[in-house]
Structure 1
Amino acid sequence: MRSNAIPEWAEQVAEGLGEGPHVVVSGISTSGHIHAGNLREVLVAEAVANALRARGEEVRFVFHADTIDPLRKVAPGIPESFGRYMGHSLSHIPDPEGCHPSYAEHFLAPFEEALEEMGMEVEVLRSHELYEGGVYTEVTREAIEHTEELRRIMQEVTGRRMPEGWSPYLPRAASGDLTGNRVVEHLPEESKVRFVDREGNEGVADYSKGEGKLGWRVELAARWKALGVTFEPFGKDHTSRGGSTDTADRMAREVFRYPVPGRYEYEWIGLKGRGDMSSSRGIVVLPKDLLRIMPPDALRRMVLGRDPSRRADLDLEGGFPRFMDEYRSETEDRPVPFSHLATVAQTVGDDVELAAEMLRRGGYGRAAEDREKLARELGYARNWAQRWAPEPVRFRLLSPEESREEMERLEEDQRLYLAALSERLEEGMGPEEIQDLLYETAHERGLKSKRAFAALYRVLLGKKSGPKAGPFIAALSVETVRERLRAGARSL
């Protein structure tokens, strides 16, 4: 799926939303790494927003970052000392590395940068700024005035009895804690509440200035009304029976008198062999990391899949070259196989001119014409090889000196084989011609092909195996290979 192609499921969802204007929202907590699994929600929302725009609707597309949420669990990799901030707003906790204004921004900034790199037309809103700017003042007042109705809905939907003194609003204590504070009086004319914190101290919180927040389930319904939301996707954890959407739906209809927005339930994605992505369990791959190995539209295709209502596992190792070949076959005529690009990238480093020469030798002259595009694609292939490629696929071309050292470790029959090859290889030979010569020379010298090829790879790559030798040597240039094989002849 390319960026200018709207998936059928998104068109069907958009059709069910009716006439606009529309506000499409996606929301994610900033309590930890915002990973590619989280990106699936944003991409679902983007696809629906694009489908609405395609039929001429006015659309506001919003990414709602839950920056005011209380910290409930310290993210993996964060110092244990941050446990002292439990219950504090993520926007009021310092950045553990000191590189951003807050803990929330530490995790949000890389994700926002990825959205920009993807060219996404989305408005990023931070919940603490919405509270502090008064956007949620009226819905917060409305929620507090209907505390008993909201309490009843919470109990009926969840099956849990809410504690005495339960309030939909969580005021912030002087300590910074949002939890364990009991509201004792509402001062609606002043947009304030009086409360008692867990230590028994009295305080006053101004909800028009963001000195607290609504509880999550109440906030969800209130947010729909405050922002005028008409569509929001949700993962299966939120849409389960008795979950947050069940609660928010009733609150929206019965308390806030706001129609429940359209929705789409998406399935989770995981990493092949590791399970579902989870920031709390440290099973994550960041969108920015994926943008280092593929272009934005390929990332959209991989994360969304053909049907985001079905689970998907990202295969970033052995299956990735095949995915890239399938993606590029839809946009290019006879693209260079990704595995070959990885071979070229690992052989020449960032030397685009040498890469172009290798591609020409390998029969991919057209791909060598656009140097800027070639440099970009080599970067993707090189980054993939360095981080994700299976070990047998990773290599680097040895220098002549390193080849000589490897040659000295070989048995004499292997060195004689390589010396014979150095005399028989000729410029202009094609991949299959070279491959036949490698086998033929081994047969003539009574050397098993496995030992022969192991010797060749050892001298060229320092490994016992590597890419198919014929095409590799043809693309690399015969003279480059001869330079390394001749070291063997001199050592005999």
Structure 2
Amino acid sequence: MKKETEVMHWADQAAEQIIRRNPGKKEYVVATGATPSGTLHIGNFREFIMGDFIAKALKHQGKNATHYHYWDDYDVFRKVPVNMPKADVLKKHLRQALVNVPDVVDDKHKNYAEHCEEEFEKLLPIVGLSPTIIRNSEQYMKCVLAEQIKVALENTDKIKDILNKFRRENIKEGWLPISIYDEETGFEAEEMEYVGGYEARYKDQKGEWKSFDFRKKGLLKLKYRIQVPAFWDYKGVDFESAGKDHYVAGGVFATAALMAKEVYGIEKALGFGFGWIGIKGGKQFSSSKGIIFTLKDVLEVYEPSIVRYIFAGSRPAAEFAISFDLDVLKVYEDFDKCERIYFKEEKAEEKDFEKQKRIYELSSVDVPKKMPFQPGFRHLTTVLQVYEKDVKKAAEFFEEFLKTKEDKERFDVKCKCVLNWLEKYAPEEFKFSVQEKVAEGLNLDKKQKDALHKAAEVLKGKVKDDKELHERFYDICKELDLKVGEFFKAAYLVLINKERGPRLASFILTLGKKRVVELFGKV
């Protein structure tokens, strides 16, 4: 194990803590969970990815580890999300188990819960996640938690005492730590009793009491607060995290820790509360108004490994915003720098090297064997627009660099991200269309025209690179006593009919000297 003075990623620190607590365990268990009661947003993904990091950190230390993800699809459906269609149909199914609510969105799934799960689940392999999926409806219907349920019911008073410590008003008499679904209607029963042993009963809609053995009939589920420690006991969970609100006094995981010890006689699962995620650029994030950003939305702008990088490079408790504005460029540049440091293509102090190396390992869906080609995001915004957003032509422009199948695949993904960003989020100054001819009525003075003619002559000759070309432009302005800004303005107006645009020298070389000479010559 590393010394405390050495650089260690927070996932590795958590893994060491897990191992120290139970060093002889054959397999360590990391758990995550979510309720598929609506569209899952990028905040939900933070729990998934944190579980993945911890499981990978345990494996990195040579341990067997399993990442279980629980879908709480047997939860009671209590509220219709505002962004869902056919709200009137969904309202009729309130107080039923989510797994019994019909798929009103596209009618392609067994139920509403499965629809919400599937649209999220199918993206997980893309970002390198492969948790073992457990649907709680199946667990409860198979009655595998009968022992944990029995223990909870026998300790109802103890559970109430724990919860009452954090409540202004005590829980009412007759409360039980369970929900029961009417066998005929599927709705949550309003009155229920624990008879004893493995027997419970509920009052059906006719007012008649119905008894059942919960080892044989899966009509019963634990309430969320007690379900958490019950699953820790059932699966031997070592680590599970949740949003930071669950860790405040009286929060779900704060009370779960007490129940784990006092009800189930086990140690609590290790974990930490993670901070909220905001959005920078695009519409304002508001779950209550149905304005959310999903993993799919983020993958439209960021490559899969960069999605992982955003989370791997942030400490769990940190609150941060995922950028859709100009900061997208910086995120890509930061990841590219991290990658160069990993492959020792860029120097870094030893401490920073170790830090960036581990972040890159956790970020990469698949760590490349050698340094990949890195077309800059900013540069691609120019190249793709020069070639009228044709990815195939853009690939031909970079042909000499795209030598491997992996480079070509990554290039295609990055181009799609650039095009999505240009279409949905990029500021207007980043968008342009190269002119076929000089725009009519263009008002340029004699000095500006002379400067463009001289620039055309320069472009007819040999130019080593964009730096040299940039310097030649400054020489022209000095010779004609023309302000540099006026020259740049004239060039952009001729090339893209806008007063500002991409960095001029590199833009012209990307566009092609011949094409620019023709346009400047027509002024």
TM range (shorter): 0.7 to 0.9
Aligned residue in 2 for 1:9? 10
Secondary structure in 1 aligned to 2:378? Answer: helix
- In structure 1, C-alpha distance between the alignment counterparts of 2:142 and 2:260, rounded to whole Å: 22
Superposition deviation, residue 186 in structure 1: 3.3
Q: 2:203 aligns with which of 183, 196, 208?
A: 196
Q: Is the deviation greater in 317-326 or in 289-298?
A: 289-298
Q: 1:390 aligns with which of 415, 421, 427?
A: 427
Unaligned runs of 5+ in 1: 1-5
Secondary structure in 2 aligned to 1:68? Answer: coil
Whether the aligned pair in 2 keeps the contact of 1:439 and 1:449 (CA below 8 Å) is yes
Whether the aligned pair in 2 keeps the contact of 1:29 and 1:66 (CA below 8 Å) is yes
- In structure 1, C-alpha distance between the alignment counterparts of 2:163 and 2:398, rounded to whole Å: 64
Aligned residue in 2 for 1:26? 32
The CA RMSD over aligned residues, in Å, is 3.3
- In structure 1, C-alpha distance between the alignment counterparts of 2:146 and 2:40, rounded to whole Å: 28
- In structure 1, C-alpha distance between the alignment counterparts of 2:64 and 2:170, rounded to whole Å: 43
Q: 1:119 aligns with which of 121, 128, 141?
A: 128
- In structure 2, C-alpha distance between the alignment counterparts of 1:34 and 1:452, rounded to whole Å: 51
Amino acid at match of 2:292: V
Aligned residue in 2 for 1:343? 382
Secondary structure in 1 aligned to 2:92? Answer: helix
Aligned residue in 2 for 1:420? 453
Whether the aligned pair in 1 keeps the contact of 2:456 and 2:520 (CA below 8 Å) is no
The answer to whether residue 257 in structure 2 is matched with residue 257 in structure 1 is no
Change over 3 Å in CA distance of 1:412–1:291 after alignment to 2: closer
Secondary structure in 2 aligned to 1:326? Answer: helix
Amino acid at match of 2:499: K
Change over 3 Å in CA distance of 1:22–1:383 after alignment to 2: same
Q: Structure 1 length as normaliser, TM-score?
A: 0.84
Whether the aligned pair in 1 keeps the contact of 2:163 and 2:250 (CA below 8 Å) is no
Superposition deviation, residue 154 in structure 1: 2.2
Whether the aligned pair in 2 keeps the contact of 1:25 and 1:45 (CA below 8 Å) is yes
The 5-angstrom pairing of residues 96-111 of structure 1 reads 96-98=104-106, 99-111=108-120
- In structure 2, C-alpha distance between the alignment counterparts of 1:47 and 1:321, rounded to whole Å: 25
- In structure 1, C-alpha distance between the alignment counterparts of 2:491 and 2:517, rounded to whole Å: 11
The answer to whether residue 253 in structure 2 is matched with residue 218 in structure 1 is no
Q: Is the deviation greater in 388-397 or in 426-435?
A: 426-435
Change over 3 Å in CA distance of 1:244–1:481 after alignment to 2: same
Change over 3 Å in CA distance of 1:428–1:132 after alignment to 2: farther
Q: 2:248 aligns with which of 215, 240, 251?
A: 240
Q: 2:43 aligns with which of 9, 33, 37?
A: 37
Aligned residue in 2 for 1:169? 178
The answer to whether residue 440 in structure 2 is matched with residue 408 in structure 1 is yes
Change over 3 Å in CA distance of 1:154–1:105 after alignment to 2: same
Q: Is the deviation greater in 247-256 or in 476-485?
A: 476-485
Cα deviation code 1:396-438 (max 9, x no counterpart): 434x2xx45xx11422648956973685342643424544555
Change over 3 Å in CA distance of 1:218–1:359 after alignment to 2: same
The answer to whether residue 109 in structure 2 is matched with residue 76 in structure 1 is no
Amino acid at match of 2:75: D
- In structure 2, C-alpha distance between the alignment counterparts of 1:194 and 1:325, rounded to whole Å: 61
Unaligned runs of 5+ in 2: 1-6, 347-373
Superposition deviation, residue 339 in structure 1: 0.9
Change over 3 Å in CA distance of 1:248–1:196 after alignment to 2: same
Superposition deviation, residue 184 in structure 1: 3.0
Amino acid at match of 1:379: K
Secondary structure in 2 aligned to 1:280? Answer: helix
Cα deviation code 1:138-166 (max 9, x no counterpart): 22233223323322322234343112221
Change over 3 Å in CA distance of 1:297–1:117 after alignment to 2: same
The 5-angstrom pairing of residues 223-372 of structure 1 reads 223-272=231-280, 279-332=287-340, 333=345, 335-348=374-387, 351-352=390-391, 354-356=393-395, 358-359=397-398, 366=401, 370-372=407-409
Amino acid at match of 2:101: I
Superposition deviation, residue 485 in structure 1: 4.9
Aligned residue in 2 for 1:374? 411
Amino acid at match of 1:28: A
Q: 1:66 aligns with which of 72, 77, 83?
A: 72
- In structure 1, C-alpha distance between the alignment counterparts of 2:218 and 2:387, rounded to whole Å: 55
Cα deviation code 1:367-412 (max 9, x no counterpart): 67754443333233323333332332233434x2xx45xx114226
Whether the aligned pair in 1 keeps the contact of 2:238 and 2:270 (CA below 8 Å) is yes
Q: 2:142 aligns with which of 122, 126, 133?
A: 133
Q: Is the deviation greater in 443-452 or in 164-173?
A: 443-452
Superposition deviation, residue 232 in structure 1: 0.8
Q: Is the deviation greater in 345-354 or in 146-155?
A: 345-354
Cα deviation code 1:332-388 (max 9, x no counterpart): 44844321122223332564563255458xxxx646775444333323332333333
Change over 3 Å in CA distance of 1:200–1:410 after alignment to 2: farther
Whether the aligned pair in 1 keeps the contact of 2:153 and 2:194 (CA below 8 Å) is no
Change over 3 Å in CA distance of 1:136–1:481 after alignment to 2: farther
The answer to whether residue 517 in structure 2 is matched with residue 478 in structure 1 is no
Superposition deviation, residue 273 in structure 1: 6.6
- In structure 1, C-alpha distance between the alignment counterparts of 2:75 and 2:243, rounded to whole Å: 19
Whether the aligned pair in 2 keeps the contact of 1:239 and 1:245 (CA below 8 Å) is yes
Cα deviation code 1:288-345 (max 9, x no counterpart): 3323333333211202433222222222322121221121123244844321122223
- In structure 2, C-alpha distance between the alignment counterparts of 1:88 and 1:464, rounded to whole Å: 60
Secondary structure in 2 aligned to 1:330? Answer: helix
- In structure 2, C-alpha distance between the alignment counterparts of 1:202 and 1:450, rounded to whole Å: 85
Number of residue pairs aligned between Structure 1 and Structure 2? 471
Cα deviation code 1:58-107 (max 9, x no counterpart): 21211112112222332231133233333222222222322433222232
Whether the aligned pair in 2 keeps the contact of 1:31 and 1:104 (CA below 8 Å) is yes
Percent of aligned positions that are identical: 29
Secondary structure in 1 aligned to 2:421? Answer: helix
Whether the aligned pair in 2 keeps the contact of 1:346 and 1:396 (CA below 8 Å) is yes
Whether the aligned pair in 2 keeps the contact of 1:348 and 1:354 (CA below 8 Å) is yes
- In structure 1, C-alpha distance between the alignment counterparts of 2:285 and 2:145, rounded to whole Å: 32
Aligned residue in 2 for 1:3? none
- In structure 2, C-alpha distance between the alignment counterparts of 1:220 and 1:346, rounded to whole Å: 52
Change over 3 Å in CA distance of 1:262–1:275 after alignment to 2: farther
Change over 3 Å in CA distance of 1:442–1:91 after alignment to 2: farther
